[in-house]
Amino acid sequence: MNVVERTKSPTPKFFRMLRSIGLALLALSGSVIAAPVVLPTVVVSVAGYLAVAGGVLSAVSQMTVDDDAKAEEDLLNRMRKYNENLPRDGIK
């Protein structure tokens, strides 16, 4: 399974929650870094670290695959492919 397939595959619920937390950290730190007021250096540095942590957390969480959901999705795709050439009137 390559990277594109892993990204498009279903993600387990726990990792979807972690991905959302990572994206929230990324958005929060981005708004702190881009603030139009002068903030202390420590706050901006921590925001930078939070941005990196949020990005890594989101990326790793997106790459996890729910094997059961993936197997079910593959089965449905095979059934659709098999059924696309069958007649629709029920006569074989």
Tens-digit pLDDT profile for residues 1-32: 788 888 888 888 899 999 999 999 999 999 99
Distance CA 10, CA 58 (A): 15
**92 pLDDT higher than 60:** no
Q: Is the pTM of this model over 0.75?
A: no
Distance CA 45, CA 74 (A): 45
Please report, for residues 15, 34, 41, 56, 90, the alpha-carbon distance to residue 11 in angstroms, rounded to integers and kept in the order given: 7, 31, 37, 16, 37
Cα dihedral angle (19, 8, 3, 20), rounded to 10 degrees? -10
